[in-house]
Amino acid sequence: MTIGGRLNRAPRTGGWRTCAAQCAACLTIAVTTSAAAQVHLHVDAGMGDARDLQGANVAVAPSLGWTGRWWSVNGSGRYASRGDAGSALMGELEALGWLRLTHGLAIDAGWSGRQRSLSWARDASGWDATLGLSLEGGGGGTRLVLGRGQAQRSLAHVPLSSAEGTVWRQFGLVQIEILGRQTTLGEPVPRANAPGDSLQPGGGEVDSNPAHQFARYTDLGGTVRSARGAFSGSLALGHRFSPVGGGGWWRVEGLMWLTSRLGLVLQGGHNPPDLKLGTGGGRFTTLAFRVSLNGSSPVAHHRASRPGAEGRSLLLTRQPGGGTSLAIRAPGAGRVELMADFTDWLPVDLVPREVGWFDLAIPVPPGTHPVNVRYDGGAWTPPPGSPTIQDEFGGEVGVVRGE
Amino acid sequence: MTHHAVARCRRPRMPLVLALLSAVLICVVRQASAQDPRLTARLTEGLALRITRLADSARAAGLPPEPLIQKALEGESKGADAARIEAAVAALLGNLTRARDALGAQVGDEVIVAGAQALRLGATVTQLRDLQALQGDRPLVVPLGVFTDLLAAGVPIVRAWQSVQDVARHGGEDQQFERLRERVSPQPPEPADRHPPPVQP
């Protein structure tokens, strides 16, 4: 349960409203299913001062994701209800597919759509299709994305186009990410009796047709994420520049697992309006419990190692039916091989799955196993981040445990 | 049926039984001394024979031979010479024997192997015995594995032993040992970092 105060900004009026003594409580139920298949399901249920409805309300927010070798599909929703203000329902669906061109270079294409309903009547919707290019290596990477779609403005949709660049890098346990994004709503309208595309961003002489209203928004921001033991957290800061109204935004989130089943989540921040839906924005704070129903927390399910100096890390995932799957993140590597007692010490190629990740096709049997890996035919080394011991042959071997 | 009739009926069966017993015995003996095809395929003939003898010794002593074969295969894959491979296998056989002597013949092979690994990393026979006594009827595989992991993680043996001892004295459940392991090997970021989500303003 939570208690938190928030200043809420009415999205339509643009004025600030102080919501005194607002309490937010949120119970988060997280279910992670079939971790080996990269399927996750989260259900957030609770009460809060939501982004969807002003004032305290009851909210339920499920989220389901499925990540395959070359694609991922994620869906999420949020239902908020307050007795005197009706209800709000927001849903988002995102699908992304990617293709590796080289070991570090990949292209991706995706689609995402978002819709909001008020008291079960559709209020706003927006979507965009994206085309991206990502390059990863040396513990970091960059991604460029172009998007095209439609956004809600007043009672009509306007064309939406966006260009986004992201750069990230891992420093030990900390990941830092910098983002720049420009979003354009509407289309440039040639001014009457004037040659060329003389634009009037966000005001001046604009066509009364909403589809032709034109505005440009530029977001610059950064995020720092980290996790250690039972703790994980992130901090995002940024600023939106726009002739029609910008401002700073920030968001902080912390998660602490109290037990393997119960965690505590603290969120707070100030969001800018949602450009796709033309709604939202404002300050919020939330303190919530996160409950994992399937017996252990995601932290317990995923035992990934500390990334090494070259951004390499080991991921062991407990499979539902027994056994443990193994994956190694080796940015920049074209080939990763593994040998262990369960391969009779014969090298086995790991299967490249997505940019920087390689999967062992067979499960790690239960028990403790000595394991060596090598990258691009180099020397045999312990898996990144695993406990390491000297072997009897002048080298080192890592210890990996299957369950 | 008379006594002679019964004797006539039984007489032909004796050689048959003896023949079957002999066949079984021969199979068992051949099985025991047969060289593992993985060894003959990857080691020189002489080394494969010597490793097989060590494995047979382990088998005769009630110890699992497979770790010895794996150790030889590991050495071969890493390009070690025959003398080094044989020494490594012999050392492992010694540790398996010490672990079995410390923990008793009634424990499973995986416990013996975990004990041998702990011994190799500096644990003592007394510590294995004490841990077994502290655990009583509770399983030993996870405690020994955690003890080994702590040693592998570079925790000084005195401190590692104290930690394991404390957990064993205060319940000694596998989950408690797992938590001890996690404290030494902190959990890193989730795999979501593969495709970092964009900053959501």
Cβ–Cβ gap A170/B193 under 8 Å: yes
Rounded to the nearest angstrom, the gap between the alpha carbon of residue A19 and the centroid of all alpha carbons in its chain is 29
Q: If you measure CA to CA, which chain A residue comes closest to B122?
A: A389
**Distance separating alpha carbons of residues B38 and B45, to the nearest angstrom:** 12
* pLDDT tens-digit series, residues A173-191: 567 889 999 999 887 666 5
Binned at pLDDT 50, 70 and 90, residue B166 comes out as confident
Residue A198 has what pLDDT? 37
From the list A344, A341, A330, the residue with the least C-alpha distance to A378 is A330
Rounded to the nearest angstrom, the gap between the alpha carbon of residue A388 and the centroid of all alpha carbons in its chain is 32
| Alpha-carbon torsion angle A154, A155, A157, A160, nearest 10 | 10
Binned at pLDDT 50, 70 and 90, residue B26 comes out as low
Mean pLDDT of B39-63: 94
**Distance separating alpha carbons of residues A359 and A69, to the nearest angstrom:** 10
Residue A48 has what pLDDT? 64
Q: DSSP secondary-structure letter at A104?
A: S
Q: Choose among A222, A240, A304: nearest Cβ to B191.
A: A304
Residue A205 has what pLDDT? 41
- Can you spell out the DSSP letters for A211-234? GG--EEEEEEEEEEEEEETTEEEE
From the list A60, A63, A26, the residue with the least C-alpha distance to A42 is A63
Q: Choose among B67, B77, B121: nearest Cβ to A345.
A: B77
**Distance separating alpha carbons of residues A72 and A393, to the nearest angstrom:** 43
Asked whether the predicted pLDDT for residue B3 surpasses 70, the reply is no
Asked whether the predicted pLDDT for residue A14 surpasses 50, the reply is no
* pLDDT tens-digit series, residues A27-70: 333 333 333 333 456 566 666 665 556 666 666 766 676 655 56
Residue A47 has what pLDDT? 67
Distance from CA of A23 to the nearest CA of B (A): 24
Per DSSP bridges, beta strands A25-31 and A367-375 are: unpaired
- Can you spell out the DSSP letters for B25-46? HHHHHHHHHPPPHHHHHHS-HH
3-state helix, strand, coil in chain A (%, to 5): 5, 60, 35
**Distance separating alpha carbons of residues B124 and B115, to the nearest angstrom:** 10
Residue with tokens 């019964």: B6
Helix B125-135 to helix B109-120 angle, to the nearest 10 degrees?
140
A373, A383 contact by CB (below 8 A): yes
Asked whether the predicted pLDDT for residue B51 surpasses 60, the reply is yes
Q: If you measure CA to CA, which chain B residue comes closest to A302?
A: B190
Six-digit token string for B29: 């003996």
Asked whether the predicted pLDDT for residue A127 surpasses 70, the reply is yes
- Can you spell out the DSSP letters for A252-276? EEEEEESSSSEEEEEEEEEEPPBTT
Residue A7 has what pLDDT? 27
Mean pLDDT of B49-56: 95
Other CB atoms within a 10 A radius of the CB of residue A153 amount to 20
Q: Choose among B73, B188, B198: nearest Cβ to A313.
A: B188
Distance from CA of B80 to the nearest CA of A (A): 6
Higher pLDDT, A363 or A208: A363
Q: If you measure CA to CA, which chain A residue comes closest to B184?
A: A229
From the list A378, A372, A367, the residue with the least C-alpha distance to A396 is A372
Indicate the SS3 state at residue A379.
coil
Q: If you measure CA to CA, which chain A residue comes closest to B81?
A: A393
Residue A128 has what pLDDT? 92
Residue with tokens 């691009």: A376
Binned at pLDDT 50, 70 and 90, residue A209 comes out as low
Asked whether the predicted pLDDT for residue A251 surpasses 50, the reply is yes
**Distance separating alpha carbons of residues B92 and B106, to the nearest angstrom:** 20
- Single-letter residue type at A151: A
B54, B97 contact by CB (below 8 A): no
**Count of A-B CB contacts under 8 Å:** 144
Residue A255 has what pLDDT? 78
- Can you spell out the DSSP letters for B76-131? HHTT--HHHHHHHHHHHHHHHHHHHHHH-TTS-HHHHHHHHHHHHTT--HHHHHHH
Indicate the SS3 state at residue B74.
helix
Asked whether the ipTM of the predicted complex exceeds the cut of 0.85, the reply is no
For A343, what's the count of Cα atoms within 13 Å in the CB-facing half-sphere?
Answer: 20
Lowest model confidence (mean pLDDT) among A131-135, A262-266, B4-8, B139-143: B4-8
Q: If you measure CA to CA, which chain A residue comes closest to B115?
A: A368
Residue A6 has what pLDDT? 29
Mean pLDDT of B87-114: 93
**Mean pLDDT computed over every residue of chain B:** 80
From the list A167, A165, A168, the residue with the least C-alpha distance to A144 is A165
Asked whether the predicted pLDDT for residue A359 surpasses 50, the reply is yes
Cβ–Cβ gap B38/A170 under 8 Å: no
* pLDDT tens-digit series, residues A253-300: 887 766 655 677 788 888 888 888 887 677 777 777 776 554 333 333
**Distance separating alpha carbons of residues A271 and B3, to the nearest angstrom:** 104
Q: Which secondary-structure segment (H or E) carries A313?
A: strand A313-318
Cβ–Cβ gap A228/B201 under 8 Å: no
Cβ–Cβ gap A392/B75 under 8 Å: yes
Dihedrals phi, psi of B66, to nearest 5 degrees: -60, -45
**DSSP alpha helix (H) spans, A51-198:** none
Handedness of CA B15, B16, B21, B26 (dihedral sign): positive
Distance from CA of B81 to the nearest CA of A (A): 9
The beta strand positions in A101-155, using DSSP E, are 105-118, 121-137, 140-153
A402, A367 contact by CB (below 8 A): yes
Residue A202 has what pLDDT? 40
Binned at pLDDT 50, 70 and 90, residue A139 comes out as low
For A146, what's the count of Cα atoms within 13 Å in the CB-facing half-sphere?
Answer: 3
Binned at pLDDT 50, 70 and 90, residue A2 comes out as very low
Q: If you measure CA to CA, which chain B residue comes closest to A384?
A: B188
Q: What is the pTM of this model?
A: 0.47
Q: Which secondary-structure segment (H or E) carries A388?
A: strand A388-390
The rounded percent of chain A whose pLDDT value lies above 70 is 63
First-to-last C-alpha distance (Å) of chain A: 34
Distance from CA of B182 to the nearest CA of A (A): 7
Cβ–Cβ gap B88/A393 under 8 Å: yes
- Single-letter residue type at A53: L
Residues of chain B positioned with their CB less than 8 A from the CB of A344: 38, 70, 73
Mean pLDDT of B191-198: 37
First-to-last C-alpha distance (Å) of chain B: 101
Residues of chain A positioned with their CB less than 8 A from the CB of B77: 339, 345-347
Sheet containing A336-340: order of strands: A348-349, A336-340, A367-375, A396-402, A388-390
Beta-bridge partner residues of A270: A250, A283
